[in-house]
Structure 1
Amino acid sequence: MNAEFLHNIKTLNILVIGDFMVDKYIEGNVSRISPEAPVPVLEVTNKISKLGGAGNVVNNIAMLGAKVRTVGCIGLDIDGQWIKGELNSKDIDTNFLMQSENVKTIVKTRLVSKKQQFLRCDEEVIQDASDEFYGFVSENIDSIFEQVDVLIISDYGKGTIRKDIAQLLIRYANTKHIVSVVDPKGTDYTKYSGAFVCTPNMNELRQVSRKNIKTEIEIEKNGRKLKEGLQIKNLMITRSEKGISLIGNENIKKDFPAIEKDVVDVTGAGDTVVSVVAVCLGVGYTIEECCIVANIAASIVCSKFGTSTLSLNELISSIITSGEFKEIDLQVAKYIVSGLHEKGKKLVFTNGCFDLLHAGHIHSFLQAKKFGDVLIVAVNSDSSVKKIKGDKRPIISQENRIKMLCSIECVDYVVVMDDTTPERILKILQPDIVVKGKDWEGKEMPEKTIIESYGGSMIFIDLEKGLSTTNIINRISEVYN
């Protein structure tokens, strides 16, 4: 997995259709009880309005840096005007956000004291979207999907996502090979049939299954039944503190544990998961990698109060310190090293081809890690290995050598080295300690001058006798010839 993919988010165009609403917060202090009735008196100090529902999904995507186009139906009232104005101020495409005098814009008002909600007031009229809205979407379908990379259906059960509208969008997306991500609601999931991924939480899974699902076996059995019955390619079940359970192509449940963090407010966490899954699919992550990133993102927003979002910098920073993404490119590595040095951490660096990874390599990594806090390993690319070892090498491809290195616990990060020597990487990263085998001691090395120029040091370590890739290859040749 490569965190660098996330930098491509800014090239994405995401289409979001759903129930748009306003989340209002009235904040203040409570220090007395009303003399009129046994209720607390809120002395108001602040009022805040935020985009809610599908609007929060849009907010999340915009904060991550992707472009967004909205589809929905809101009122011509003051709150509807506020939604459209707020979206426009964020450079969101609202050309297909219909406004109607027959629609009452949904508003949820929360009374808050010391970051604790003690009352919520909902102003809403739940009704299916009009035939006029369906006609509007149908007539403009080609323009709605123009240059779109990912479709998100954010269903809050308020009426926008009629079955015919959802199916119109999903089927159109499928014909254009555009992935569709659905945040579902209610008990009729047939309207999501054919979607690429659907993200119910545990309560929603129980509702649609009409069963009190508790055990892991029940989750897998009912999840698989739902997925197969509706021809949904992936069912991603969000489980709060238990993380995410995925039922994908193999039709078995895979669990992705949540990232441990202090929870302040879970409001909007589901919107964040949907948003992050959409952008991650858009930049090329697998559905499994999407689950990992979504867990990290959810942990960030749950540590904040209210309907919250996260920035791309927050997400990348959390990913690269989570240990989930060990393979990084030089740009991300530079970001990591800078952060480590700010925290007073000592960085250790080593490099090599690591073709036919063996016990000698492991021994060297374990020694290297003891000299500092973080170990970065640079592995030669296939092309550079050929320059060093000849056209018959490497035996193991670059992709698989990286996978093996990432699986080693003491290795913190892996970068690919296209050059035959690490000089360019050392100039950029400036690690505190560079570790080499004692077979290099006393030899002329161009990188030595670079290391000394920024105040780093080079340490030579003992190698396991008789263990080298070349010796192993020769031994195999002797045995089988």
Structure 2
Amino acid sequence: MAGSGSGRSALVVVGDALLDRDLTGTADRLAPDAPVPVVAEHARRARPGGAALTACLAAADGRDVTLITGLGDDPASEELRRLLDGRVKVIGLPLTGALPEKTRVLAQGHPVVRLDRGDGRVRAATEEAREAVRAARAVLVSDYGRGAADALRDVLAQRPPLVWDPHPRGGPPVPGTRLATPARSEARAFATGAGDHHTTQASGSDLRVAAREAAALVRHWRVACVAVTMGARGALLSYGDHPLLVPAPAAHHGDPCGAGDRFAATAAGLLADGTLVGEAVEGAVAAASEFVAAGGAGALADGAFPEADFRPSGEEGAGSDAAPDPHAVIARVRAAGGAVVAAGGCFDLLHAGHVGLLQAARRIGDCLVVCLNSDASVRRRKGEGRPVNPLADRIRVLLALQCVDAVAVFDEDTPERLLAELRPDVWVKGGDYTGADLPEAALLQEWGGQAVLLPYLAGRSSTTLLDRAAEGSR
């Protein structure tokens, strides 16, 4: 199967599709006959679930996706076909019984109860499905324990998948799978079922126990590696020895429904594109984190899957979606009547002088936007060999400071154009400047802003640090 026009590799998803529904409303009282909330229904939404959600998320990444899953003639199967139409190619496997449906009742965005119905299981594999797996360049198994993976286990064993996303009701990955992605609770259950004495009797921190369980599953399943997803903590990647902890870029408290499917779809796609496992897991953690922040699967109404671009962490550009938008930050502060502070510089090698300046600048107002020279701008100002750190790295370091709310990049030698666009209330420079060196001062006066100098730690500069480093290497 050929890849899509985006240049990204095609993907075959094998697994158990579900039909997910959300009934959303509000609850402001308890029922008179029982201590349960009374939910006033506002809307009903349906979306692909299980392996079908995984397939749609992979397709939203710009991939050609084939979904091999059980479908019947029942109304739920027909509705799922409608939701999948035009998004992924579907190869149906015969079902016994109706397609499983899961309905969540949510009040004020929080689940109150879930209703399940439909006990359909895959009866057998078809020759069309077997051929699709044999011909696939990359396979992802999303095993929800409804028989799809078991029906194709023999051909999957001959063609081990890149990723196997296991669930408690399903079987183990086939030996040779490149990456298995159980959630934390699933890893514990699988490791206990594997009967590994050292794992089941493990004690210590949760991270230590998770590492032992992951290593045990690598051995027991005979897979290349296991990534245990740990929610807001990120993922623990084990090859059977010392694990790699990939932390989430930010802690989000949105709806986690579907985050595991987002993780598996991203990891499989990146591996199919030739990314190394560690980088694929980093990209998958970032993707799952952003997915939860955007509202999770519950935000996908009637099969609406926005186009996505989840890349490994080493590939973010200066305009990465994960970075706060300076215009949005400024608008929010101004709407609340706050003061906007801006500071500028190259910030090539961030040192104590920089940090002190930025912390002081943030205390002046209600947000701090750093106006950052682009790589070309730094090179013109500082000469060849500068910047030492490229733009994406400098942005990432600045945003890691609690005092920095956003970063805006300018390509000119000086930031006048950007300042005229942002119109901050205060413009801050270090105390090693004089009034004559502040051409921005007159510009600030045009909209009633003020340029100020702040004390600067003497002897701290990127150039000094570089000189010291050069002397130390001689």
Whether the TM-score (by the shorter chain) exceeds 0.5 is: yes
- In the alignment, is the contact (CA less than 8 A) between 1:220 and 1:252 conserved in 2? yes
Residues 112, 137 of structure 1: CA spacing in aligned structure 2 closer, same or farther, 3 A cutoff? same
SS in 2 for 1:191: coil
The residue type paired with residue 291 of structure 1 is V
Match of 1:385 among 378, 384, 387: 378
- In the alignment, is the contact (CA less than 8 A) between 2:22 and 2:104 conserved in 1? yes
In structure 2, the residue matched to 1:175 is: none
The residue type paired with residue 121 of structure 2 is I
Greater Cα offset, 297-306 or 129-138:
297-306
- In the alignment, is the contact (CA less than 8 A) between 2:370 and 2:408 conserved in 1? yes
Offset at 1:422?
A: 2.1
In structure 2, the residue matched to 1:288 is: 282
Query: Which sections of structure 2, spanning at least 5 residues, go unmatched?
Result: 1-5
The residue type paired with residue 212 of structure 2 is K
- Check if 1:52 corresponds to 2:56: no
In structure 1, the residue matched to 2:216 is: 225
CA distance in 2, matches of 1:387, 1:108: 61
CA deviations 1:157-189 (Å, max 9, x no partner) are 111113234345545xxxxxxxx4432135743
- In the alignment, is the contact (CA less than 8 A) between 1:32 and 1:41 conserved in 2? no
- In the alignment, is the contact (CA less than 8 A) between 2:18 and 2:52 conserved in 1? yes
Offset at 1:448?
A: 4.8
Match of 2:166 among 168, 184, 194: 184
CA distance in 1, matches of 2:327, 2:91: 44
Residues 130, 310 of structure 1: CA spacing in aligned structure 2 closer, same or farther, 3 A cutoff? closer
CA deviations 1:79-118 (Å, max 9, x no partner) are 3222212211xx3132x42264x65442325485967666
The residue type paired with residue 56 of structure 1 is L
The residue type paired with residue 132 of structure 1 is E
Residues 366, 98 of structure 1: CA spacing in aligned structure 2 closer, same or farther, 3 A cutoff? same
CA distance in 1, matches of 2:253, 2:154: 41
- Check if 1:270 corresponds to 2:260: yes
Offset at 1:353?
A: 2.6
- In the alignment, is the contact (CA less than 8 A) between 2:370 and 2:406 conserved in 1? yes
SS in 1 for 2:436: coil
Offset at 1:18?
A: 1.7
- Check if 1:199 corresponds to 2:182: yes
SS in 2 for 1:246: strand
CA distance in 1, matches of 2:269, 2:323: 22
Offset at 1:156?
A: 0.7
In structure 2, the residue matched to 1:349 is: 342
Match of 2:148 among 148, 151, 160: 160
Normalised to the residue count of structure 1, the TM-score between the two structures is 0.70
The residue type paired with residue 457 of structure 2 is E
- TM alignment of 1:297-446, pairs within 5 A: 297-298=291-292, 301=295, 328-329=318-319, 335-344=325-334, 345-394=338-387, 401-402=394-395, 404-443=397-436
Match of 1:98 among 59, 83, 92: 92
Residues 429, 236 of structure 1: CA spacing in aligned structure 2 closer, same or farther, 3 A cutoff? farther
- TM alignment of 1:109-188, pairs within 5 A: 110=103, 112=105, 120-127=115-122, 129-138=124-133, 141=135, 151-162=139-150, 163-167=153-157, 170=160, 180-185=162-167, 186=169, 188=171
CA deviations 1:206-226 (Å, max 9, x no partner) are 225425467533321120232
Residues 205, 463 of structure 1: CA spacing in aligned structure 2 closer, same or farther, 3 A cutoff? same
Offset at 1:362?
A: 2.1
Greater Cα offset, 356-365 or 335-344:
335-344
- Check if 1:246 corresponds to 2:241: no
Residues 151, 308 of structure 1: CA spacing in aligned structure 2 closer, same or farther, 3 A cutoff? farther
Residues 418, 228 of structure 1: CA spacing in aligned structure 2 closer, same or farther, 3 A cutoff? farther
How many residues end up aligned between the 2 structures?
A: 440
In structure 2, the residue matched to 1:177 is: none
Residues 400, 58 of structure 1: CA spacing in aligned structure 2 closer, same or farther, 3 A cutoff? closer
- In the alignment, is the contact (CA less than 8 A) between 1:337 and 1:347 conserved in 2? no
Residues 408, 60 of structure 1: CA spacing in aligned structure 2 closer, same or farther, 3 A cutoff? same
- In the alignment, is the contact (CA less than 8 A) between 2:430 and 2:453 conserved in 1? yes
CA distance in 2, matches of 1:45, 1:337: 33
CA distance in 1, matches of 2:42, 2:323: 44
CA distance in 2, matches of 1:413, 1:228: 45
- In the alignment, is the contact (CA less than 8 A) between 1:23 and 1:51 conserved in 2? yes
Offset at 1:199?
A: 3.3
Residues 227, 443 of structure 1: CA spacing in aligned structure 2 closer, same or farther, 3 A cutoff? farther
Normalised to the residue count of structure 2, the TM-score between the two structures is 0.71
The residue type paired with residue 177 of structure 2 is G
Residues 371, 184 of structure 1: CA spacing in aligned structure 2 closer, same or farther, 3 A cutoff? same
In structure 1, the residue matched to 2:3 is: none
The residue type paired with residue 159 of structure 1 is G
- In the alignment, is the contact (CA less than 8 A) between 1:448 and 1:458 conserved in 2? yes
CA distance in 2, matches of 1:433, 1:330: 26
- TM alignment of 1:18-37, pairs within 5 A: 18-23=15-20
SS in 1 for 2:364: coil
Residues 138, 192 of structure 1: CA spacing in aligned structure 2 closer, same or farther, 3 A cutoff? same
SS in 2 for 1:247: strand
In structure 2, the residue matched to 1:319 is: none
The residue type paired with residue 98 of structure 1 is G
Residues 74, 342 of structure 1: CA spacing in aligned structure 2 closer, same or farther, 3 A cutoff? same
- In the alignment, is the contact (CA less than 8 A) between 2:46 and 2:303 conserved in 1? no
Offset at 1:412?
A: 3.6
